[in-house]
Amino acid sequence: MSRRRQMMVGMVLGALGLLGLAVAAMGQAGNLAADRAWYEKEVKKLTKESTADEIIALARECYRKGLKDEAMTHAIEAHKKAPDDLRPKYLIFALSGAKIEITIEPPLPPSVPTKATMTDAEVEAVYKAEGEQVVRNFQQVQRLMATRCGSPKCHGGGNPKSKWALVLKGPANRKSIAQNFRTVYTYMNRDKPKESALLQKPLKGTEAGHPAQAIRSDKDATFTRIEAYIDTVKTDAQKAVPW
Give dist(CA 89, CA 54) in Å, integer: 15
CA 133 to chain centre: 33
Residue 106: the pLDDT is 54
Residue with the bigger pLDDT between 236 and 153: it is 153
Length of the chain: 243
| Per-residue pLDDT reduced to its tens digit, 66-101 | 898 899 999 999 888 888 888 888 888 888 765 545
Are the C-beta atoms of residues 130 and 181 closer than 8 Å to each other? yes
Q: Which residue stretches of 85-131 are H helix?
A: 86-96, 120-130
Give dist(CA 5, CA 117) in Å, integer: 101
Burial class, 187, CB count within 10 angstroms (exposed 0-12 / middle 13-18 / buried 19+):
middle
**Residue range 230-238: mean pLDDT, rounded:** 70
Give dist(CA 58, CA 88) in Å, integer: 11
| Per-residue pLDDT reduced to its tens digit, 98-113 | 554 545 455 544 445 4
pLDDT band for 132, please (50, 70, 90 cuts).
Answer: very high
Does residue 126 have a pLDDT over 60?
yes
| Per-residue pLDDT reduced to its tens digit, 41-52 | 999 988 888 888
**Residue range 139-144: mean pLDDT, rounded:** 88
pLDDT band for 146, please (50, 70, 90 cuts).
Answer: confident
Supply the pTM of this predicted model. Answer: 0.52
Q: Domain limits of the chain?
A: 3-96, 120-236
Q: What is the DSSP letter of 196?
A: -
Residue 120: the pLDDT is 92
